């Protein structure tokens, strides 16, 4: 695998992930830095995030819609993901992702 990546010129993209509200509680930490292959999408990053923090799966993924939960706002460098390409949005090195659940206290 490493040789294949080397052959393909694998470049890692580092992304800062910020979890808020109930997601922060489910993950047990507020921030995490993840590395994915260049060209990875937001959807790939969500998969990677769940791989790293399995506690997030139940609160972040809606299995009926087969996407991240509709009651969470996902911001890519301050831009709401559906204003980009949703889960297909490409990520760049140093990007900051914010996962903000819509259902809060009150």
Q: Min. distance of Cβ 25 from another protein in angstroms? A: 7
38 binds another protein (CB under 8 A): yes
Provide the minimum distance between the beta carbon of 78 and another protein in the complex, in angstroms, as a whole number. 6
Our finding on whether 18 is near another protein (CB under 8 A) is: no
Nearer to another protein, 3 or 33 (CB): 33
**How far lies 83's CA from each of 32, 72, 75, 86, in Å?**
24, 14, 9, 7
- Residues 18/98, Cβ–Cβ less than 8 Å: yes
């Amino acid at each position: 695998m490493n040789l294949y990546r080397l052959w393909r010129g694998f470049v890692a993209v580092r992304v800062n992930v910020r979890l808020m509200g109930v997601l922060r509680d489910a993950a047990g930490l507020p921030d995490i830095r993840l590395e994915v292959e260049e060209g990875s999408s937001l959807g790939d990053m969500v998969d990677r995030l769940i791989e790293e923090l399995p506690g997030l799966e139940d609160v972040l993924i809606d299995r009926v819609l087969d996407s991240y939960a509709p009651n969470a706002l996902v911001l890519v460098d301050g831009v709401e993901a559906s204003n980009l390409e949703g889960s297909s949005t490409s990520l760049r090195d140093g990007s900051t992702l914010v996962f903000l659940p819509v259902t809060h206290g009150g």
